Amino acid sequence: MFNALVVTKDTESGKTAANVQSIGLDDLPAGDVTVAVDYSTVNYKDGLCIGPGGGLVRNYPHVPGIDFAGTVEASDDPRYAPGDKVVLTGWRVGEAHWGGYTQKARVKGDWLVPLPDGLDTRRAMAVGTAGFTAMLAVMALEDHGLKPGQGPVLVTGAAGGVGSVATAILANLGYEVAGVTGRPETGDYLKSLGASQIVAREELNETTKRPLEGETWSGCVDAVGGAMLARVLGQMKYGASVAAVGLAGGAGLPATVIPFLLRGVNLLGIDSVMQPYDNRLRAWQRVATDLPMDKLEAMIQPATLSDLPKLGADILAGQVKGRVVVDVNA
């Protein structure tokens, strides 16, 4: 028997409850690789799955956790053998399939990636889906021509998980980073990650009737969406790109096509969930080389399984800074 955070739902009231419970291997869903989980983390989706479900969870009881890293314990997949270190993000694990808030998980081998050299399982979960998504965004911007020296790169929602890692990676690669935050108290934190400019959220979260403003940003990693993304599109330099990774500010986009037509701006969609294996592996290898580990350590907030119900509510309220690393065995 081992511990897991199990979410149940009352069929009459529709309310959910999350508690640490003891379960067994026979309770785990089907899969060809069993992993002894070392660490998981907390993302916005996890907050939804721990709490109200957000339309992500199909069946209860449910074990959330869209990320985990650990050691293969048993495998019917020839690519993985007992003792291998692996990391999992995406594939709707923790949503439609039981996830990483457990001491043991069973998944499909196709969903796993070998842990790259230079990362241990704890640091891999300090990266997690948020950091993996940030790396995919940086790669997409570079693939579309972004280079250091072209001007400041904007990171919206910079104090969050994706934004924190994006800021650290971009600064480490030699980019001038402007971090947007609605929490003034996070300014010093963002500067410690490498941001050279702090932009108050209020400066960007209002829509404007002008479809184009001054050419300011050479690139952007946007975790906010909504009115802020619409505003930023009109401030991009000619031919520059925005990598859209989130919708903390809403799913709507009150924009015009003018930035695309008159400035050749590119809007790049970043999906981490169904990312193909080769690019997934490339991103993890880049994380291991391009994310400074001292900056990663500065982002970490430790947690245990019993902390997750509160942390789930906190991240939904925008009250989590940096990266939470959950030691499922503590």
pLDDT tens for residues 205-246?
877 788 999 999 999 999 999 999 999 999 999 999 999 999
Burial class (CB in 10 A: 0-12, 13-18, 19+), 251: exposed
pLDDT tens for residues 159-200?
988 999 999 999 999 999 999 999 899 999 999 999 999 999
- List per-residue pLDDT tens for the chain, 330 residues long: 999 999 999 989 989 999 999 999 999 999 999 999 999 999 989 999 999 888 899 899 999 999 999 999 999 999 999 999 999 999 999 999 999 999 999 999 999 999 999 999 999 999 999 999 999 999 999 999 999 999 999 999 999 889 999 999 999 999 999 999 998 999 999 999 999 999 999 999 877 788 999 999 999 999 999 999 999 999 999 999 999 999 988 999 999 999 999 999 999 999 999 999 999 999 999 999 999 999 999 889 999 999 999 999 999 888 888 899 999 999
**∠196-155-86 over CA atoms, to 5°?**
110
Signed CA dihedral, 124, 125, 129, 131: sign only: negative
**Can you list the domains of the chain with their CATH numbers?**
2-115+296-327 (3.90.180.10), 128-269 (3.40.50.720)
| DSSP 8-state symbol, 88 | E
| DSSP 8-state symbol, 77 | S
pTM higher than 0.85, yes or no?
yes
Interatomic CA distance for residues 30 and 22, integer angstroms: 19
Interatomic CA distance for residues 236 and 141, integer angstroms: 13
SS3 per-residue string spanning 116-149: CCCCCHHHHHHHHHHHHHHHHHHHHHHHCCCCCC
Q: Find, among 281, 231, 42, 245, the residue nearest to 163 by Cα.
A: 245
